[in-house]
Structure 1
Amino acid sequence: MSTAQVQLYVYDLTNGLARQLSMQLTGRQIDGIWHTSVVVFGREIFYGMGISITPPGGSHHGRPLRVVDMGETAIDEETFEQYIMEIREQYTADKYHLLDFNCNTFTNDCVGFLTGKSIPEYITSLPADFLSTPFGAALRPSIDAMSRGGAPSEIPTPPPEVVRAAAAVPPNSALVTNAFRDVVAHAASDGSSRSSGAYLPTPTPTSPRSPSNAMQTKNCSDPTSFQSLLRSNRAVIAFFTRATCGPCRMIEPVFEDLAKNKSKPDGGVAFVKVDLAVGNSAAVAGPYVVRATPTFIFFLDGRKTHELRGANVPELRTQVDLLIYEAFPPHPHTALSLPAVDSISLNPILFTNIPNLDTLLAKLNEFIDSVPSWTGAVTQAQVKQVLAKTVVPFLKASSATLPPSQPPTTYFDSWSALASSLASNLPISNLFPLADIWRIALLNPKFSEWNSTKSAPQNTISMLLSKTLGSKGVPRNYILTVLRMLSNAFSNTNLAQQCVVSMRSDLTTFLVSTLLHADVAVRTAAASLAFNVAGYLQKLRLEKMKSSRNSSIDPEGEEWEVEMVSAILEAINQENTNGDLAHRLVASLALLLRFSPFIEQLTPLMEVLESRSILNTKLTSEYATKPGVHKLISEVSEKLCP
C-alpha cells in the first residue's frame, strides 16, 4: 500500500508582533497568532475565505515559520479530494471566526482524517490561553465584531496590575487595533486580495512553547476526524458541549483534569471535546442522538459502551476509570502478593574478576606468534602494538577512564579492527583471551556505550557469540568466557536491548544449550545470563504497565518465551547440587512469569511440563534451606505455576 507524507505548515499571522507585545498586553508570553495549513499530495490546503489550495509555500502567507512532520497517510489522493468536497459546505467564508472556527480547526480535521493524529497542542490551545487573560476576555467582543465583518470596538486597555508587572510602557492602542484588524483580514483571506496593513519582517523560526500538561483534550468538529480518533484509540471519552452551557463550563475543568491524569504517554486513550456550535459537530453528535449538553459518551474499540448526561462529577470519574480498566485490564498477576519475587533485584549479575593482565597479554601474544600465515589488512605487529599500547593500559587503569584528549570514538575504533583480525586468524580454541578482554572492558560505561553504537554485523560481541554456534567441540573455556562477556553486556541498557532483540536468535540457541552443560561453572554463568535477560524484560514490562499498554516486546516474543520457560524449567529439574545456580534459575523463571504478556499461552505449557511438581521437589533439596531460597521457590510454585 502506497503512502504519502503529511506536513503541517505553521505561520504567525502577526509576523512577530504577538511575541513582542503579548507580555505587556496579557501578562503571558504568546509567541504567535498561528495559522496552519496541511500539505499533502504536492498541495497546500488551508481555510480562510472558504477552502483554498495552492502549491506548497505558494499561498499569500508566504514562507512558513516552521514545518511539522505529521507522519504518513495510507489514504489515496482521490479519497482525500472527495473528503475536501464533502466538508466545503461546513468551511465557508461566513463561518470563519478567528477564535472559535478557523484555519486550525480545518487543519486539525484534515490531519485527523489523514493520519488519526492532532495538530500540536500549542496551536489548538492558543484561543483558550488568550481568552483566559483579562485582556483577552475584554478583547473578545472586538474580535467577534471583526470576524463578523463589523467594525472593531476600541481595543481595551490592559488592567494596570498587568501592565506594571509586564512592562513599564503600555503599547500603542492604535497599533494594536490595526494589528488585530490586519490579523483577522489576513487569516480569513484566500490570497486574492491583501490587507494594506503593515507587516513586520518575518521572524527567525523559533521553537514552540511546550504544551501545558493540563491540555490533553482534543477538539473535534468533523465526523470523519471523530471516526479516525475512534479507530486509533482503544478508549475514547467524548464530551459534547456548548460554549453557552453553564453546566458544561462547570464540569469542563474536571474533564481536562481527567485528560491530564488518565491519558497515556504512548496513546490509546483520547479525551475529545465536541462543541455542538462549531463546524460540523452536529453531524458528529447525530448518530448518537445527542440533544442536550453536557453529554459524555464512552467508546471502547470504536463501540459505544455508556452515556452520561449532566454535570455529574463523581459519575464521570467512575465511568472514565471503568472504561480505562476495561480497555487496559491489569495483568492477572497484578493482584498477587509476591514479596519474595518482588524483592528480587533487577540489577544484572556481572562478572567483575580481573585476571593478571600481563599474563593474559603474554598468552594472547603467544597465540598470535603461532599463526604461520597472518591474513588481513592489520598485521601481527600492529595487533600486538594495539594490545600493548591501548588495550591493556586501558584495562589496567584503576578507574578505567579515558584520557581527556581522546574522545571515545577515536580511542576505541582500533579495537574493532583488532578483534576482527584476531577472530579471522586464531582458531576458536585460542580466542578466549579476546572474549575476556571484552568482558572486562564492558564493565566500563564508556566502552559499553561505544559497543552499543555498533550495528550487528560490526559488533564484536555478536561475532564472538556466533562462533559458539554451528561447530562441534567448542572449548569449555571459550563458552564460559563468552557467557560472562554477554552477562556484562547487560551493564548498558542499549547494549542489553541489542542482545535481547538483535542477537535474540543466536543468544537463545547458545543459552538454551549451556543451561544444561555438564560443567557447573558454565551452567552458573548461563543461569546468570538467563537472569539478566529476564531482569531486562521485567524492567520493560513494568514500564509498559505504567503506560497501560498491552503489547509484547516484539512480534516473536511468544515463541521465544515458551522456549525460554521450557529450558529454565528443565534446568531447574536437573539441578540438584548447586544452590546459587538453582536460585538464579528460579529467580529467572519468576521474572519471566511475573508480568508476562503471554501468560495465557504459558499456562498450558507449564501444566504439561508439571512445573509445580518440579519446584515442589526442589523444596526438599539441601540448598532450599538457604535463606530466601525456600520462600522464593514456594511462592513461584504456589502462585505462578498452574
Structure 2
Amino acid sequence: MSKVELYVYDLSNGLAKQLSRQLTGKQIDGIWHTSVVVFGREIFYGQGVCETLPGQSHHGKPLQIVDMGETALDQDTFNEYLTEMRQHYTADKYHLLEFNCNSFTNDCVGFLTGGSIPSWISDLPSDFLSTPFGAALRPTIDAMFRRPVPGAAPTLATLRPSPADAAAAISASPNPGLAASLLQAVASQAFSPTAPASSGSAAPSAPPLASSSTVSAPIHICTNPSSLHSLLRTHKAVIVFFTSTTCGPCRMVEPVFEDLAYAKTHRSGKDRTAFVKVDMDVGLGGQAGAEWGIRATPTFLFFLEGKKIHELKGANAPELRSQVDLLLYQAFPPHPHTSLPLPVVEALSTNPILFTQPPAYDNLLNKLSSFIDASSPSHQVLEAKEQIITRRTMSLYLSARFPSDRNASPPKGLSASPQLISSWSASTRTITQALPTAQVFPLVDLWRLALLDEAVGTWCATNPSAINPVHIFLRKADEALSASQSEARNFILIALRMLANAFACSVLAKDLLSAAGQRVAATKVIVSSLLHADTAVRTAAASLAFNVAAFLQKGRVDKIRGASATDNEVEEDGEWEVELVSAVLEALSNEGQSEEAVHRLTAALAFLLRLSPVYESQLVPFLEVLHAKDTLMVKLAAGGCGEKGVQKKEVRKLVEEVAEKLCP
C-alpha cells in the first residue's frame, strides 16, 4: 500500500495567470505540468520517463499537491509497469500539447488507483488553441518538436522555435512583449534538463486550484480503461480511435482523424467534444479495447452522452468524416434560425457603433480646469490637475493619435504605454472624487477617445475596479440615472458614448458583459438611459444596446460555424437576455421621434433574438406576452415614429423582417 499524490506545477511560473487575458482575451490560470508521487519517488515524463525525490525536480516546489488516494499494488508490479511505459513514453515522442506529462500521469494514476487526474488538467477544450494567439502559436510548438534525426531526443537547440514561427505567434498577440516573455518562460521550464535527486521535503498540500482552462491539444491519448471512462463521463460527444503500432491502415487514416479533431473541438463547458486515441500496444490500451470488443485496427467508436451509437472499422476517410459530422449534429443540433431566411438581418454589420469624432481638446481642458479651480481643490487634486491639464499628457497623446484634422495621419504604431495609462487613471480617480458628477464630462470625453486605442482598452479590462476609469464612470452614470440628475445630462450622454467605444476592444467588451465583471452595472445604465427624456441620450443608449447585442451575435455565429468563439464569447444567461429584450421593446414602444434610435433598437432586438440559445424556451413566450410584433409594426404606421412613421426604406425592411420572422 502506498499513498498516491499528484504534484502540479505551472510551466509559465505564474505568467499565464497574470498575462493570459492580455494575450488571448481569456483567463488561463496555468500551463500545467504534473508528476505522480508514489513509493517515495516523484515520476514524470519529459525527456523520457524521469524519477527524482519528491519536490526535487527542475520544476522546483510544486504549486500544489492533490491527494489521489492509495494504491493496492506493490512496488515491484509498478516498476514492471514503468519498464513497459518507458518503451512508449520516450523523449522523441514528447509533445507539449499532444503527448505530454499529463498524458503520462493520467495513465499512472489510472494503473495505480483506477482513477484519473483532475478534469481541469486533463480536459482538452482547446480554449487556448482556439484564440488567435493560440492558433498562431500552434505551428511554433509543432516546430519545436521537429527532430533533425528520427528518434533523436529533444534538446534545447532542436526545440527552439524559428524566428519566423515565434514572430507569427507573438504578432498575433495585442502585446508582443508579453507574448515573448510567456513563450520564453514556458520553453525554459518545459525543456530544462532534470535536476539530480536530492533530499528534501515536499511542499504542503494546498486546496485544488479553481482553473478556468488549461493549455492542451484537442486529442486525448488514453492507455487505460479508467481514463477512457472518465472522458466518456465528462464529454457529450466522444470519438475513439483504436490503433496499434504495427497497423499500416491506421497510419493512413490518422492524419484525417487529427484534422477532424482540430476542426471540431472548439466547444467548451458542457458542450465538449473529445477525440481520443487508444494505442492497443501501449500500457493497458489492450484492456480498453477488449472491453469494447475491438478485434482489429483501425476501429472508431462514436459515443453520445456516454452511450455507444456507432462503430466504424477500417481506414475509410470519407465515412469517418460523415460519421463525425452526424455525431456532432446529434449532440449539438443546429439552431432553428440557421435555416430561417433573414436577408436583412444577415446583412447587418456586427461591427460596433463607435463615436470617433475628436473633441476640441483645448476647450475640454479649459472647462475641466475651471471646474477644478471653483472646487477649492486639495493638494491631491492639484497634482491631478497638473498631470491632466497643465502637463497635458493625455490630450497631447490623443491629439497625436486621433488628430482633429481628418487629413492628418497619426504616427504608425503609436499606442499608450501602461505607465502612461496608469498615470492618467490615478489622476482621473482623484478628480472624479473631488468634482460633482455633472462636472466630470470633459474628462469622460478624453477617455471616450482613448478607448479606441486597444492598449488602453486592454489595460482597463485587466486592472482593478477602484482605479479603472471605465468602471468609475459606469458607477457614476448609474448613480446619476438612479437619482434622475437632470444637470448630469452631458455626463450621461458622453459616458454612454464612452461605453459604446469600449466595444472597440473585445477584452474590455467581455469584461463589461461577463457575469463576474460589470454586467449588472452596465445593464442598469442601458435600461435606464433607453428611457431618458433626452433624444440624444436615448440614441446613444440605443447605440450601446446595439453593441452589446452585436457582440453576443458574433460569438453565436462563430460557435455555429465551428470557429473560435473566444474573442466574442460571453456566457449566455436567459434572465439577463430577457431583461435586455424587455428594455429594448419598451424603448421601441416609447420612441416616437428618432428614426435613427428605432433603427438601432430594432437591429439590437434582431441580434438579441437571432440564434439565442434560450429563444424557444424563454424569449418566445415573453415576446408573445409583450405583443412584440405589434410594437414593431406600429413604428411603420403614421404617428408611430414621426408624423408618417418610419420612412427610410432599409429601416422599414428591417422592422418588417424582425416582426414577421423573429417575433411570434
Superposition TM-score, scaled by structure 1 size: 0.70
How far off is 1:92 after superposition? Answer: 6.3
Does residue 350 (structure 1) correspond to residue 365 (structure 2)? The answer is no
Counterpart for residue 226 of structure 1: 228
CA contact (8 A) 1:73 1:114 kept: no
Take 2:311 and 2:76, find their aligned partners in 1: how far apart are those partners? 29
SS at match of 2:241: strand
Aligned runs of 1:95-106 on 2, under 5 Å?
Answer: 97=87, 106=104
Does residue 485 (structure 1) correspond to residue 498 (structure 2)? The answer is yes
Does residue 611 (structure 1) correspond to residue 640 (structure 2)? The answer is no
Does residue 281 (structure 1) correspond to residue 285 (structure 2)? The answer is yes
Counterpart for residue 91 of structure 1: 81
Take 1:477 and 1:422, find their aligned partners in 2: how far apart are those partners? 17
Does residue 591 (structure 1) correspond to residue 607 (structure 2)? The answer is yes
SS at match of 1:345: coil
Take 1:86 and 1:286, find their aligned partners in 2: how far apart are those partners? 25
Letter in 1 for 2:360: N
How far off is 1:512 after superposition? Answer: 0.2
CA contact (8 A) 1:108 1:118 kept: no
Of the structure 1 ranges 431-440 and 390-399, higher mean CA displacement relative to structure 2 is found in 390-399
Letter in 1 for 2:625: V
Take 2:476 and 2:189, find their aligned partners in 1: how far apart are those partners? 53
SS at match of 2:380: coil
Counterpart for residue 201 of structure 2: none
Counterpart for residue 334 of structure 2: 330
Does residue 545 (structure 1) correspond to residue 560 (structure 2)? The answer is yes
Letter in 2 for 1:487: A
Does residue 241 (structure 1) correspond to residue 243 (structure 2)? The answer is yes
| Counterparts in 2 of 1:572 and 1:386: CA distance versus 1, 3 Å | closer
Take 2:460 and 2:188, find their aligned partners in 1: how far apart are those partners? 40
SS at match of 1:632: helix
Aligned runs of 1:399-418 on 2, under 5 Å?
Answer: 399=402, 408-418=417-427
Aligned runs of 1:363-374 on 2, under 5 Å?
Answer: 363-372=367-376, 374=377
RMSD of aligned alpha carbons: 4.4
Aligned runs of 1:333-482 on 2, under 5 Å?
Answer: 333-372=337-376, 374-375=377-378, 377-380=379-382, 383=385, 386-390=388-392, 391-397=394-400, 399=402, 408-470=417-479, 472-474=483-485, 475-482=488-495
CA contact (8 A) 2:530 2:542 kept: yes
| Counterparts in 2 of 1:507 and 1:287: CA distance versus 1, 3 Å | same
Letter in 2 for 1:416: S
How far off is 1:243 after superposition? Answer: 3.9
Counterpart for residue 35 of structure 2: 38
Could you give the per-residue CA deviations for residues 204-251 of structure 1, whole angstroms, max 9, x where no partner exists? 87769xxxxxx9644322111111222333221122334445654554
Letter in 2 for 1:537: L
| Counterparts in 2 of 1:244 and 1:598: CA distance versus 1, 3 Å | same
Counterpart for residue 648 of structure 2: 626
CA contact (8 A) 1:386 1:414 kept: no
How far off is 1:614 after superposition? Answer: 1.6
CA contact (8 A) 1:248 1:294 kept: yes
Could you give the per-residue CA deviations for residues 559-581 of structure 1, whole angstroms, max 9, x where no partner exists? 21110011001111222221111
Of the structure 1 ranges 542-551 and 516-525, higher mean CA displacement relative to structure 2 is found in 542-551
How far off is 1:420 after superposition? Answer: 2.1
Aligned runs of 1:272-311 on 2, under 5 Å?
Answer: 272-311=276-315
CA contact (8 A) 2:36 2:109 kept: no
SS at match of 2:354: coil
CA contact (8 A) 1:242 1:277 kept: yes
Take 1:330 and 1:378, find their aligned partners in 2: how far apart are those partners? 58
How far off is 1:387 after superposition? Answer: 0.8
| Counterparts in 2 of 1:605 and 1:379: CA distance versus 1, 3 Å | closer
| Counterparts in 2 of 1:538 and 1:549: CA distance versus 1, 3 Å | same
Take 2:574 and 2:455, find their aligned partners in 1: how far apart are those partners? 34
- The number of equivalent residue pairs is 527
Letter in 2 for 1:432: F
Q: Which has the higher contact order (CA 8 A, sep 6+)?
A: 2
| Counterparts in 2 of 1:347 and 1:403: CA distance versus 1, 3 Å | closer
Taking every aligned residue pair, what percent have the same amino acid on both sides?
A: 43
| Counterparts in 2 of 1:524 and 1:222: CA distance versus 1, 3 Å | same
Aligned runs of 1:106-185 on 2, under 5 Å?
Answer: 106-107=104-105, 109-110=107-108, 113-116=116-119, 117=122
Larger Rg: 1
Residue 321 of structure 1, aligned match among 306, 322, 325: 325
CA contact (8 A) 1:72 1:115 kept: no
Residue 261 of structure 2, aligned match among 259, 262, 266: 259
How far off is 1:97 after superposition? Answer: 3.2
Residue 577 of structure 1, aligned match among 593, 598, 613: 593
SS at match of 1:271: strand
> 5+ unaligned residues in a row in structure 2: which ranges?
12-32, 95-99, 111-115, 127-137, 153-186, 193-216, 404-409
Letter in 2 for 1:486: L
| Counterparts in 2 of 1:494 and 1:623: CA distance versus 1, 3 Å | farther
SS at match of 2:470: helix
SS at match of 1:273: strand
Take 1:591 and 1:283, find their aligned partners in 2: how far apart are those partners? 50
Letter in 2 for 1:572: L
